[in-house]
Structure 1
């Protein structure tokens, strides 16, 4: 075993699995029988073999080994389980000698669980009459699929469940005659089963891959199909989106995007897509956004389905991006896999960046990199500015720890750092290095340094030297600027939201690309990267300069207060990304005590004339954080509401309610954002119009509300009309057939204004809402300062139920706790949370609790420090009516 990781013995190595599943009970107890034959190489003689199982019952096992001219078969004398480490050991009475070819045959029983992990069942209500073979109970019908990443293949079949123990797979499954089965590879044959009314579907052998990428599914499926335009081995590849019956027409956007993205990636990676088909499957209950199983990619419905007439336009963006992200993994992750989970970021950081790169290729008018800066980068900054952050490449001793690092550091900081590097090297050079890396490690495993080596070779630069601190050290820098005539002095130091960085926390020297623009024309001024603690840059036109142009560097800038005021008068010289970066940086400096909230409020007044959705999004996000933090003081809270109202009124009046044919995607999103903000801040005309449209909608006129305005109208109606509107939206949740309808109604119901309705919403949610969506219930209330406290009280009072309901999948439980609790800014509540959990077994969500604690402490410190400053500023600027 490797000293730094708890892994299986390397005495045996799998080369191929033959898996057969049969006697599937489509109802309680939801069990199935399986036979798994694993081809092994035995490197050193053994008396036992240990592999991974979790919630499986092994009936029997035997080993047939070839050694020299002799072949022998030995039955297991004992099978023992280590439940804590999810392993089982199969022991034999005699020693099994070294063998290049042995077959371990295991007969077992598993469960199609309801935890969205392993081989599991998803309930749904079909819009059309389903096939007779569909499993059902009461109102619900079921489909079945798998989710194996990171360590849940072992829940479905006995296996060597580690990323670098790659093997090929043969798979077959017995299902009812009228259902469809899918797996990574195309169907090989279907034969009649001995079981009446059933068939056995078998699939072609997969390429060599990690266990977490194996997948299968069966159900009442139909599909839409297109083909790649490039030829692969002389053929255009079929690209399909599968859904349960009645939904396939919502798969057109995904299938149109997918075939183009497959061709695009085949071109830029200079390696053809390696499998004979691409299937995308919509899964009704899903803990993540999607999963990149090779050749059979699974998605939650809102990440792959889109109704041209009924979906909110923001889901168009989501579908195209998630499709691109998962397809990127078919090369980066599947063809070449990280060696161990500590390098998870290699998969996720790269797929995130190149996913957005593909969306930019398909939709130039969406301003993808502006989106990236306002969404991805700001979220990464938020988590990485806590003491409880972790390096991008984080040590993982046991695979069972890994789920908690599927977070904004691995995905969003990882992709931000990749973007910074690609920008520095040049995207063409960068992609050439990526192609060389993929070719060198095809069908194998690789480490971060293997990528750096390939990029160094392609660029002629020592990539390892300047990237290592970004990957292996915690946190990121802030560059503080001091001005002198014709020059600026800069200093780098670690940034923490809480401020007060200790010397031992500030020892990293980052390589920081300066991205400097200066002069009347705001032209690029080539300057060396900052590689020391401090430096001076001369020949600067101090009438105008901007660091970190287009926000390609993953760092914050702390500018002198008067510089912010100057820049707010030169917004025409700044790109969308620059404006977003300035706002985000100013807000973060205020939280950390490096700047003041008064300065941020003054700065943002200059954006009242802004017309870009992404810039407005960052302005209102920064303002939302300020309003949330100071919400417990009624006078200040009301003054900030007046500030918000004044800020958005002119832009809201101008954009109006009506969508026109000429509106682009970003204009539609801006309309939704402004109307929601204005209405919730009390803009009378907006509230009246929203109430009018809501009344017509509830009265049966489905066209009264544009699909992209449902969230705004529902929220405004609930805020001002109370219980009646809340109950109407609750009914809409139960009735909606729109694929995004459930998400939108859940987000809207959090606008209730009384504790009674907040409690009702939580109790109703835990009774009626799918497990995957419960965090939407908690988060929508946590975002509403009026009723936020109810979320924590509910968790405390109902902890045993919540732990039982969500604890079958720790990803879901950890996300629920983290997202519901980190909005508080009260030191008393932070202490209460810590006290509540101190004597509990928090394994699986301990990292999330640490993030919650750190975030609330920072919020509380910020509130205490700046409350009176904000009050004085609001008073001086006539916002305290």
Structure 2
């Protein structure tokens, strides 16, 4: 089905084939303007008297079209240039029709701005950690580096272009910069020439392959790099792989470098297509709206997603760096070599890169239990958003740029990858990857659709993939499978799951293909039961002593067991994989919220996990319990009871694991220690021993008497406990640490910790700080999320947003709608009050909410679901906690 009518796209009479871009007269201070010329080779397919392309916040000086019609070269000047600012388009009018010509050129001279919005061609501020080169632009405190972020629709902010993913072309790029700066682009450097003035040079780069505008990239600054080479040869050579940073940080790029060259080779093997460019560059960018961006051959990253300091970084960032490096490298094939036809199929890029990113991380780190992590993080997060009415199908109609940015969300990435994991598990990973390889071969350097992928997978597997996957991609939501028991058999029924628990008949029309993955019997062996393809079915020969559906949580659905069975499964957890145990807790928590289960059942289940030893299972348990605490936080009695429950649950494990890291301790044990100490301390560890120890270490660390008093992986736990227990002095100490630390992840840890403040005075001081120029726009949401999770401060945060919307919040964050939408979602989804939900709706009513309207819908749905759950289950929770001695 064509969605073209629903898209705001450019006329199809003209197609670009090459861009030659030249940037010069860069004003590296003042207004940060630059001049540019772009010569676009055009294929004019039918005679027209105007050309429309994309341009946003550019000033166009002149436009000429050069044609070779009838073998006579002629240059035709545009007689008029007009802008449609809302649609981000520029139209060039000509007095006479332009002839049909497959070798015409459009030459545009223009002016742009190296903005500070993390979109288009932009500047990032940073504090240098080494002596910078003389010409690095700076103000009193900060220096600047320059880079691009074009996905989804911001190439048009940097130069006039035909900015749609299926209008692919090749690119030639050159830029004039100070002599002591380093320039980078997608391809290797071709030539360096003398600049127009003393002290300047012009750097040009080799021509790119055919690609979409959003994948073009360039950067320049005071860079240095670490380098390694692929072990595999490409066209007879080992490819150079580099991690670039601003001066003084390159050694922190070694961990990413180690992964990048291995992953490049791994993907070349499993995709059966060699990495297609002559280099792989990774660049750490100091201000970044997303986690990273897969520009072909020049991948850009937020610093915390690519840099790791073995001496000073929290170990958890190892996991982040390894995975994000893999995710972006996967895009070099899936997204860059073969690109989705239109943004409605963004999931083709992101869902696949997410799944295969985990696959590569698992390949390099089999001891990290990557698929357990996938289930506790990706799968559960995808469920959360997709269980709202305000969710959207994986493949969703997208009209224009503002709509595109809002679907870079948990549905495109995490539901997309969860559905791919389900399919790859069903087909077998090797068969699945064979189909992917065939898909990439067939469509390389072109564009493709979801149906193209399904066809390739159907051919490879001999199954009709489209038939059973179509509802997963094109329908909203997911099912819950409800189990009823009879002697020797079970009946299973599928229905749409909503967190609000009030599914209407018209919302429950989809019949999903559901792989049942039944584990049963003494050995918990997987029984061949196939898939549920009808609304209801009976499964015979089930061993009543033990059974569990959805083996290893491969399927994207919740399971609702009879209450007694849930207790039995909790007791039989030794027969369950890590993924099964995580899924059991996640399902019970969601079903309590929706009313299909209840809080008492969840508490009874988690009580049985006191002797659990796996970090990822603990993470899921404590996420679920933290959410209940948050929702019931306004009731002092239940809040106190839940705190006591959590404390009793974690104390034995916390006491056992202790504070000290063994020299060769495995990664997950270290993460568990951090989680348990933070949880126990924040719940008021008995006798205060965790709190006392945290305070002692905090004091030694912040006074400077012993900087080794806090292990890098315990900074988050210790800082959060100290802030919760302390006052102004503690707050000032962590704030000072934020301002002075040179640790890449240290700033993020401090911001999140400061959100644990307990008084209105400190909360308001922190909010003022968060919106000052001391905190980068990219990080504001981290502090807001922490304040929102803190029951003492979430109402103050909402009051601050309302009071300062026009003066601080909107002006500071709306330059990049991705940033604003993320901030609002993280600030406002923790409430469990219908009154607050109405207040939020009322505040935004009548405002121009384009660019974050989908986020407001998610906030409304989430808050309403939590409020309904609170109202329905508060007494049940109180009764259970009382009966079990926690009140």
**CA shift for structure 1 position 777:** 1.2
- Work out which of the residue numbers 757, 766, 783 in structure 1 matches 2:762: 757
Instruction: Provide the rounded CA distance (Å) in 2 between the counterparts of 1:233 and 1:447.
Output: 30
Q: Deviations over 1:683-719 (max 9, x none)?
A: 0110010000000001112111000000000011111
Please tell me whether the aligned partners of residues 711 and 745 of structure 1 are also in contact (alpha carbons under 8 angstroms). Answer: yes
Where do 1:770-849 residues align within 5 Å?
A: 770-800=776-806, 801-849=808-856
Please tell me whether the aligned partners of residues 66 and 100 of structure 1 are also in contact (alpha carbons under 8 angstroms). Answer: no
Can you give the 5+ residue segments of structure 1 that lack an aligned partner in the other structure?
Answer: none
Please tell me whether the aligned partners of residues 788 and 827 of structure 2 are also in contact (alpha carbons under 8 angstroms). Answer: yes
**CA shift for structure 1 position 66:** 1.6
Please tell me whether the aligned partners of residues 339 and 447 of structure 1 are also in contact (alpha carbons under 8 angstroms). Answer: yes
SS of residue in 1 equivalent to 2:604: helix
Please tell me whether the aligned partners of residues 698 and 709 of structure 2 are also in contact (alpha carbons under 8 angstroms). Answer: yes
Instruction: Provide the rounded CA distance (Å) in 2 between the counterparts of 1:740 and 1:4.
Output: 43
- Work out which of the residue numbers 544, 547, 551 in structure 2 matches 1:545: 547
The equivalent residue for 2:216 is 214
- Work out which of the residue numbers 361, 364, 379 in structure 2 matches 1:362: 364
SS of residue in 1 equivalent to 2:733: helix
Q: Deviations over 1:144-169 (max 9, x none)?
A: 00000000000000000000000000
SS of residue in 2 equivalent to 1:309: coil
The equivalent residue for 2:709 is 704
Residue 692 in structure 1 maps to residue 713 in structure 2: no
- Work out which of the residue numbers 135, 144, 150 in structure 2 matches 1:148: 150
Instruction: Provide the rounded CA distance (Å) in 1 between the counterparts of 2:18 and 2:395.
Output: 30
- Work out which of the residue numbers 333, 336, 340 in structure 1 matches 2:335: 333
- Work out which of the residue numbers 165, 174, 177 in structure 1 matches 2:176: 174
**CA shift for structure 1 position 399:** 3.1
Instruction: Provide the rounded CA distance (Å) in 2 between the counterparts of 1:303 and 1:566.
Output: 41
SS of residue in 2 equivalent to 1:397: coil
Q: Deviations over 1:314-360 (max 9, x none)?
A: 00000000000000000000000000000000000000000000000
The equivalent residue for 1:729 is 734
The CA RMSD over aligned residues, in Å, is 0.7
Residue 575 in structure 1 maps to residue 580 in structure 2: no
Size of the alignment, in residue pairs?
880
Please tell me whether the aligned partners of residues 753 and 786 of structure 2 are also in contact (alpha carbons under 8 angstroms). Answer: yes
The equivalent residue for 2:137 is 135
**CA shift for structure 1 position 67:** 1.9
Instruction: Provide the rounded CA distance (Å) in 2 between the counterparts of 1:542 and 1:450.
Output: 44
Instruction: Provide the rounded CA distance (Å) in 2 between the counterparts of 1:755 and 1:493.
Output: 45
The equivalent residue for 1:400 is 402
Where do 1:358-397 residues align within 5 Å?
A: 358-397=360-399
Q: Deviations over 1:829-858 (max 9, x none)?
A: 110000000010000000000000000000
The equivalent residue for 2:163 is 161
- Which stretch of structure 1 is more off in the superposition, 746-755 or 323-332? 746-755
SS of residue in 2 equivalent to 1:3: helix
Can you give the 5+ residue segments of structure 2 that lack an aligned partner in the other structure?
Answer: none
**CA shift for structure 1 position 268:** 0.1
Where do 1:309-324 residues align within 5 Å?
A: 309-324=311-326
Instruction: Provide the rounded CA distance (Å) in 1 between the counterparts of 2:386 and 2:557.
Output: 11
**CA shift for structure 1 position 128:** 1.1
Instruction: Provide the rounded CA distance (Å) in 2 between the counterparts of 1:660 and 1:318.
Output: 22
Instruction: Provide the rounded CA distance (Å) in 2 between the counterparts of 1:820 and 1:135.
Output: 35
The equivalent residue for 1:516 is 518
The equivalent residue for 1:641 is 643
Please tell me whether the aligned partners of residues 517 and 530 of structure 2 are also in contact (alpha carbons under 8 angstroms). Answer: no
Alignment TM-score, normalising by the size of structure 2: 0.99
- Which stretch of structure 1 is more off in the superposition, 4-13 or 607-616? 4-13
- Work out which of the residue numbers 44, 47, 51 in structure 1 matches 2:53: 51
Where do 1:477-556 residues align within 5 Å?
A: 477-556=479-558
The equivalent residue for 1:283 is 285
Please tell me whether the aligned partners of residues 336 and 442 of structure 1 are also in contact (alpha carbons under 8 angstroms). Answer: yes
**CA shift for structure 1 position 2:** 3.0
Alignment TM-score, normalising by the size of structure 1: 1.00
- Which stretch of structure 1 is more off in the superposition, 806-815 or 715-724? 715-724
Please tell me whether the aligned partners of residues 353 and 416 of structure 1 are also in contact (alpha carbons under 8 angstroms). Answer: yes
Instruction: Provide the rounded CA distance (Å) in 1 between the counterparts of 2:566 and 2:760.
Output: 41
**CA shift for structure 1 position 788:** 1.1
Please tell me whether the aligned partners of residues 402 and 850 of structure 2 are also in contact (alpha carbons under 8 angstroms). Answer: no
The equivalent residue for 2:269 is 267
Please tell me whether the aligned partners of residues 302 and 739 of structure 1 are also in contact (alpha carbons under 8 angstroms). Answer: yes
The equivalent residue for 1:437 is 439
The equivalent residue for 1:719 is 724
Where do 1:296-307 residues align within 5 Å?
A: 296-307=298-309
